[in-house]
Amino acid sequence: MNLLMVGCNHRAAGVDIRQQLAFGAQQTSDALQRWRARFADTELALLSTCNRVELYAVGAAPDAAPQPDELVDAMLSYHGLPARRMEGRLVSLAQRDAVLHLFRVAASLDSMVVGEPQILSQVKEAYQRAVESGSAGPGLHELFQAAMRAARRVHNETRLHRHRVSIPSVAIADFATRVFERFDDKRVLLIGAGEMAEETLRYLKDAGARRIRVVNRSWDRAAALAEAWGGAAAPWEELWEELAAADLVIGAASVQQPLVTAAEFQQVVARKRQQRPLFVLDLAAPRNFDADVGEQLGVYLYSLDDLAHACERNRAARAAELPSAEKIVLAETDAFMAAAHHRLAGPVITGLRRNLEEPKRAELERLFRRLPQLDQRARGEIELFADRLVNKLLHPPMESLRDASQEGPPHGLLDALRRLFRLED
């Protein structure tokens, strides 16, 4: 098997380069079909995500796969990009390195945010698209199945994916779910706007939040946000009433002084809430909520610093899991390569067995002709003896081939066996 990978990723190329080289879903299918005509004997799969564009090629024989330059040329010419623009930005890996790379990618060890879960589904999608385009065969099938197995092992045997590292995901999954059992009946209030606040809203929507209210100094902005998130806008003047009615608040307004002080909260909001739990995510800097608001009964207040601290701790926890994850990926890579090398010995093993089976059959026939008085049971015992002898004779060369496959392609041993047993004939 000849295995190659060419492409670019977030380590070697900036986002501008990656964007130029990126393939959409339709483009991927189209490109694979086009390249299939150009590289007829090669299986191809294209993985295109925000952080990487990688083309995997598998040829059944060493001379069957195209050269890396040809693959690069195919990718660049699809987009009409000149080769000089990508100089030094593209990565090319072959054989074991390519396998190890794909396994690390699938297990999210090569991701920008290590452990992020989306990459495995993107790898599956890339393989599925290759299958649908007719550019995948048994080589790619084994490669991608092994990659997914490695990723699953990393997922199941380490806690790499369990530690969330983005502020919105930590806020919702690590804190809000410990206060609330469900979100579909909770009233979410967004004060102001901001990228992180919207990202948090996305997580809340995924968790089931339906009742969203938006309060913003600009009514138009509030209305637009409310429409985008399927909620309702409320005038800025109703902030206190909204606070009293809310279960979960995201503070993202741009302010110089805290919008809500502990005294105001106590006087205006606390009385109306009757200690009903309030979960506050203060994602603004400077803060929207005075830190003392968190001291009120039933109020759970988290600032950016609190959440960043939790993220940092989770990052450290992920880093602690990395050695175990890398070990699993290495073991899976070794197993895959050994199996691939062992498959090279397939024709030799078949030839060896045939070379022993034919004389065995001939000798058995001769013996049974000379001893016609043998009954069925005696014949069966003699056949069994002959089978066991053949298997025992084959066992040492098979073991040697298996051992040699662990080191690399056992070409020398295969040549020796071919010559010793005249397998060419």
Partner 1 sequence: MTSGINMLCFTGCYAIALALEALGLWKRPPGRRLATVAAMLIGMVAHTWYLADRAGQAPWAPLASQHDWCLAAAWTLSLVYLGFVLYYPRASSGLFLLPVVLGLIAAARWSSREPIATFQAPRVWGQLHGVFLMLGAVAVLVGFVAGLMYLVQSHWLKHKRPIGERLRLPSLEWLERINGRSLAGATILIAMGFVTGVLTHLAQRDGEFRWSDPVVLSLSGMLSWLVAAECFRLAYPAARRGRKVAYLTLAGFVFLLITLSAFMRDGAAHGAPRTKAKAAGGAPKASAIAAAGGAPRTGGPP
Q: 50 catalytic, yes or no?
A: yes
Compute the least distance from the CB of residue 396 to partner 1, in Å.
Answer: 38
Q: How far apart are CA 305 and CA 289, in angstroms?
A: 13
List all residues 6 or more positions away from 133 whose beta carbon is below 8 Å from its beta carbon: 28, 29, 32, 33, 36
Among candidate residues 14, 19, 41, 50, the one labeled active-site is: 50
Q: How far apart are CA 197 and CA 152, in angstroms?
A: 32
Q: How far apart are CA 76 and CA 388, in angstroms?
A: 58
Chain residues that interact with partner 1, rule: CB under 8 A: 159, 162, 170, 173-175, 177-182, 274-277, 294, 297-298, 300, 302, 306, 309-310, 313-314, 317
The percent of the chain in helix, strand and coil, each rounded to the nearest 5, is: 60, 15, 25
- Residue 173 or 335: which CB sits closer to partner 1? 173
Q: How far apart are CA 186 and CA 348, in angstroms?
A: 68
- Residue 262 or 404: which CB sits closer to partner 1? 262
- Residue 11 or 272: which CB sits closer to partner 1? 272
Compute the least distance from the CB of residue 175 to partner 1, in Å.
Answer: 7
Compute the least distance from the CB of residue 282 to partner 1, in Å.
Answer: 12
How many CB atoms sit inside 10 A of residue 2's CB?
A: 19
Residue type, 36: R
- Residue 314 or 405: which CB sits closer to partner 1? 314
With 0-12 / 13-18 / 19 or more C-beta atoms within 10 angstroms meaning exposed / middle / buried, residue 159 is: middle
- Residue 189 or 352: which CB sits closer to partner 1? 189
Q: How far apart are CA 278 and CA 296, in angstroms?
A: 10
Compute the least distance from the CB of residue 335 to partner 1, in Å.
Answer: 21
Catalytic residue positions? Answer: 50
